[in-house]
Amino acid sequence: MDIKGFQFSAVEAAIKKPGRKDLALIYSEVPAQACAMFTVNAVKAAPVLLSMERITNGSAQALVVNSGNANACTGEAGMEAARGTSRLVSEGLGVADELVQVSSTGVIGVQMPFERIRAAVPALLEGLSSGTLDDVAQAIMTTDTFPKMEARGGEAGGISYTVAGIAKGAGMIMPNMATMLAFIISDAAVENSTLDETFRRAVNASFNAITVDGDMSTNDTCLVMANGAAGNPAISAGTPESAQFEAILGEVLLSLAKQIVRDGEGATKFVEIRVTGARSDADARTAAMAIANSSLVKTAFFGQDANWGRIFAAVGYSGAEVDQRRLSLRFDDVLMAEHGIFAGGDAEALGTQVLRKKEFTVTVDLGLSSGKATVYTSDLSHEYVSINADYRT
Amino acid sequence: MDIKGFQFSAVEAAIKKPGRKDLALIYSEVPAQACAMFTVNAVKAAPVLLSMERITNGSAQALVVNSGNANACTGEAGMEAARGTSRLVSEGLGVADELVQVSSTGVIGVQMPFERIRAAVPALLEGLSSGTLDDVAQAIMTTDTFPKMEARGGEAGGISYTVAGIAKGAGMIMPNMATMLAFIISDAAVENSTLDETFRRAVNASFNAITVDGDMSTNDTCLVMANGAAGNPAISAGTPESAQFEAILGEVLLSLAKQIVRDGEGATKFVEIRVTGARSDADARTAAMAIANSSLVKTAFFGQDANWGRIFAAVGYSGAEVDQRRLSLRFDDVLMAEHGIFAGGDAEALGTQVLRKKEFTVTVDLGLSSGKATVYTSDLSHEYVSINADYRT
């Protein structure tokens, strides 16, 4: 993977337990076009408040991110820590403070150990000469069991470019935003308005279509930076190049989103929930999310129990328009129920076989109109409870 | 407990596993004033559809209820089974079919074994001579670990009367309605409109203020029957007797609601969530429900982890108006956070002590206005996952 004009670094700042990198930097040698989407939680972490303000100028040159501490519910001291972190990085790199994005993930409500960050920044800057995007992906992990990366290549005006992304997820995964942190970089030249539009559409079809536990974080951030170092003519909206860029960006984001679900806390299943035949796409999404977030449905997935009635119950309380006599349901290709009742025959045995797979699709047809939506989710396991019962200890 | 003019019976109809009573009957010797509230799930069980239609006449004389099969998602055959069950009971008792309420709880999507009910009804009718309300409370249990009963006495016009109730709950507990099944009987004479008003208010303050897992059942039913057998002058609205009756009814319902939470599937904690200082009572309720339904908050309760930041995060995404700088939080009397940040001092140690208790209160003050609400919930444990992973097996 070759992404021109970006440098990376990750170090141990002792925010997390010893032996794990927890402070990372992405640096673009020139200011990049940038857009970001942030949590809509009314309780926002300090770095989110800071970065939201800065991204309005449409460009960024550096991202400094830590794991192990969310810097959320930390008041003015937390804002000072976020600003101070940014200042150390901007001075060290010689870039304007407003071009530095700050991001954090970890425990909520604990003050950021700023002196440890200060002590670690020199090594962080030094590491830029040899670091990789993979190092950054590792450093932003919290309860993640594997780093999440994806990259795709494209071409504009005969010039090749790359779109690469990293993400961390695991728990507190729910639209909007679904991810906790995702950072996308590209060496393509893209007009700012084009980047903004394509990015928002891609986020809605990926991160906003996944859910692990229905909780929404105080720190969710998805940032894209395109620095133009590939040297292509700037991609602008309404062109084949723009369509290709959007497709590539969408693939990278969807891959990262799916990786987050696969690594959902304690997840043993990856489930695609499709709702069709709804009165509207919005209704379909409402119904799909109710299924995806139902504790009873998710524990049944974990137990490999073809308890399709719970899925109809979730659809029924979702708020979507439902006529129970028109509902049908499939596990992969196995028809489990139609006209609102059990399909009979071998459905139970065949459906149970599907649920024994690690990945499968649940399709509910509401039988009303043509609205449809797809979301991705995991099961709810003993391990989820274990991870979250003693997350801080 | 002496409730005049009611008879009870419970038998084994082999709907559940052998050795457990699963078919029960409550019979009033005269037609009783009756009101009921049902699930608002768009997917409604057959007995709910039947009983909803019948309750509009404002009276009932018998309730036949089974556990082990919800008779939901069972289509026209399910409706036939519900009607057939009612017919057997109405003929056996010699009461009008429209005065029979039918209720079911158990697995969704499996056809009701009507022939077993037919075979069991003679014994059910015979049992009325010796059965008790406690027998009925036992027979409606599914994953409940104990039967839920409460009774209180009152007086009107110098005549004593009793209000008694039974309930079953455990999982799929969420407003509106919170309970799966609750049946309240009284020998008081109460005007129908007075019964209706007091009952609805009492349900909102009790069953609609509890949540175990955020799922809503297809079968939720709460029914009250007052048969006047005590012989008091009929209680009418706006009188001291009405106020007393409402208070007693409220106590019975709240006690049953709390018993349901205490017996929440896998519950190890009983938590009262109070939200104060909200822009409105509705906002307070929205925030309290978000806390009570957050998987991350509930697993932290299970782990006895004073992770108050997750509670602020839940409040933040609830949709209630929130200014994060004004939030404060207490575990019982221990101030954990104020002005949106950690309270410092001994809060961590003292807060953890509170969470080690079996029952405690979480109070969040939004610091905006005077809106307030209280809801009751349980924690989310390994046992919840175990129970629901293989519920049908």
Assess whether pLDDT exceeds 70 at residue B101. Answer: yes
Beta carbons of A391 and B300 less than 8 Å apart: yes
Burial of residue B144 (CB within 10 Å: 0-12, 13-18, 19+) is buried
Cα(A51)–Cα(A60) distance, rounded to whole angstroms?
10
Beta carbons of A43 and B312 less than 8 Å apart: yes
User: Residues of B numbered 322-381 whose beta carbons fall under 8 angstroms of chain A's beta carbons: which are they?
Assistant: 322-325, 327, 337, 339-342, 380-381
User: Residues of B numbered 107-166 whose beta carbons fall under 8 angstroms of chain A's beta carbons: which are they?
Assistant: 107-111
* pLDDT tens digit sequence for B192-229: 999 999 999 999 888 888 876 656 778 889 999 999 99
Cα(A207)–Cα(B209) distance, rounded to whole angstroms?
33
Alpha helices of A303-346 — where are they, by DSSP H?
308-317
Residues A335 and A306 sit within 8 Å (Cβ to Cβ): no
Region B296-317: mean pLDDT is: 88
Token pair 């308005």: residue = A193
For B236-244, the CB contacts below 8 A with 24+ separation are B236/B191, B236/B194, B237/B191, B237/B193, B237/B194, B237/B197, B241/B156, B241/B157, B242/B194, B242/B198, B244/B154, B244/B155, B244/B156
Q: How far out from the chain centre does Cα B87 lie? A: 27
Assess whether pLDDT exceeds 60 at residue B173. Answer: no
Interface probe, candidates A388, A392, A393, chain B, greatest B C-beta count within 10 A: A388
What is the ipTM for the molecules in this complex? 0.78
Cα(A345)–Cα(A353) distance, rounded to whole angstroms?
14
* pLDDT tens digit sequence for A264-275: 777 889 999 999
Q: At what angle do helices B114-126 and B75-93 cross, to 10 degrees?
A: 20
Residues 6 or more apart whose CB falls under 8 angstroms from that of B361 comprise B271, B272, B273, B274, B330, B331, B332
Beta carbons of A296 and B393 less than 8 Å apart: no
Q: Which amino acid, one-letter code, is at B158?
A: G
pLDDT of residue A207: 84
Assess whether pLDDT exceeds 70 at residue A213. Answer: no
pLDDT of residue A143: 79
- Out of A145-149, A168-172, A274-278, B48-52, pick the least confident: A168-172
B300 touching chain A per CB within 8 A: yes
Q: Domains of chain B, with CATH numbers?
A: 6-260 (3.60.70.12), 270-389 (3.10.20.340)
Q: B26: which 2 tokens? A: 């409550």
Cα(B307)–Cα(A109) distance, rounded to whole angstroms?
8
The nearest CA of chain B is from the CA of A181 a distance in Å of 16
What number of residues does chain A have? 393
The nearest CA of chain B is from the CA of A128 a distance in Å of 34
Residues 6 or more apart whose CB falls under 8 angstroms from that of A175 comprise A207, A208, A209, A210, A211, A216, A289
Beta carbons of B385 and A390 less than 8 Å apart: no
Facing residue for A215 by CB, picked from B110, B215, B295: B295
- Helix H or strand E encompassing B338: strand B334-338
Beta carbons of A340 and B313 less than 8 Å apart: no
pTM score > 0.80 for this model? yes
How many C-beta neighbours within 10 Å does residue A359 have? Answer: 12
Cα(A161)–Cα(A151) distance, rounded to whole angstroms?
11
The nearest CA of chain B is from the CA of A268 a distance in Å of 13
Assess whether pLDDT exceeds 60 at residue B339. Answer: yes
pLDDT of residue A387: 66
Alpha helices of chain A — where are they, by DSSP H?
46-55, 75-93, 114-126, 133-139, 192-204, 240-262, 281-293, 295-302, 308-317, 347-355, 382-389
Give how far Cα A371 sits from Cα of A155, A287, A289, A320, B173, Å.
Answer: 34, 11, 14, 11, 30
Cα(B305)–Cα(A393) distance, rounded to whole angstroms?
8
Region A184-211: mean pLDDT is: 91
Q: A90: which 2 tokens? A: 């901007």
User: Residues of A numbered 246-275 whose beta carbons fall under 8 angstroms of chain B's beta carbons: which are they?
Assistant: none
Helix (H, G, I), strand (E, B) or coil at A239: coil
Assess whether pLDDT exceeds 90 at residue A310. Answer: no
Residue burial A240-275, b: 16+ Cβ < 10 Å; e: rest: ebbeebbebbbbbbbbbbbbbbbbbbbbbbbbbbbb
Q: Which amino acid, one-letter code, is at B115?
A: E
Going by their DSSP bridges, the two strands A181-186 and A221-226 should be labelled as parallel
A302 touching chain B per CB within 8 A: yes
The nearest CA of chain B is from the CA of A179 a distance in Å of 15
Nearest Cα to Cα of residue B221 among B187, B177, B189: B177
Token pair 């029952």: residue = B359
To the nearest 10°, report the CA torsion of B39, B43, B47, B50.
Answer: 90
* φ and ψ of A189, to 5 deg: -95, 125
Q: B110: which 2 tokens? A: 């499996």
**Residue A88's pLDDT band (cuts 50, 70, 90):** very high
B314 touching chain A per CB within 8 A: yes
pLDDT of residue B391: 55
